[in-house]
Amino acid sequence: MSAGSDRVEVETSVVAPVDRLWALVTDVDLPARFSREFQAGEWLDDPGEGARFRGHNKIGDVEWSTTCTVVDFRPGRAFTWAVESVDEPVAVWGYTLDDRGDRVLLRMHATMGPAPSPPRAAAAADPEHAEEIIARRLRHWTKNMTATVEGIKGLAQA
């Protein structure tokens, strides 16, 4: 797959104030309530551009942690972080909020790479199935991202 196709995005429309959504998307532990992979998160610095947080993940018996750095922090608009390295991240994740007055369009996005990752290593080791290996990982991300934005929507509208 090309680098451009290694990006996934999900969205939902939320009837809630943008400030309420901002508080939810910047709670780096919150996705653990909805994602089957993401287990926990904690800020290492005060939230803001350049701040770091640690995320803990698990798939089956495999557990790992990553350190993320916030690369876009625009209150009420965008919260984006790079995984492991800002210059050559393993992945870039984030949320955007589009305030439309009576509702907010909440988007969550993720882009794989450009740094090596386990799915990319598996794809490189099996070029014949590389496209399916990456596609399967992106489907897994999409499922967890959808659960996360729908969970955030439920909390925001409660």
The confidence band for 116, taking pLDDT boundaries of 50, 70 and 90, is: confident
What is the residue type of 14? V
- pLDDT the model gives residue 11: 98
Report the percent of the chain where pLDDT is more than 70: 97
What is the residue type of 135? A
In what helix (H) or strand (E) does residue 1 lie, and over which residues does it extend? none
Mean pLDDT of 143-150: 98
- pLDDT the model gives residue 5: 60
Whether the Cβ atoms of residue 10 and residue 142 lie closer than 8 Å to each other:
yes
Mean pLDDT of 110-132: 90
Residues 139, 88, 43, 94: what is their CA dihedral angle, to the nearest 10 degrees?
A: -40
pLDDT greater than 80 at residue 2? no
Tokens matching residue 113? 């790479």
The confidence band for 4, taking pLDDT boundaries of 50, 70 and 90, is: very low
Tokens matching residue 111? 């882009």
Residue 88: phi, psi to the nearest 5? -145, 75
Set out the domains of the chain in order of their start, with CATH numbers.
Answer: 3-157 (3.30.530.20)
Tell me the per-residue pLDDT of 55-98, one tens digit each, with 9 for 90 and over: 999 999 999 999 999 999 999 999 999 999 999 999 999 999 99
Which one, of 94, 102, 98, 54, lies nearest residue 71 by Cα? 94
Residue with tokens 């640690």: 54
Residue with tokens 């925001």: 156
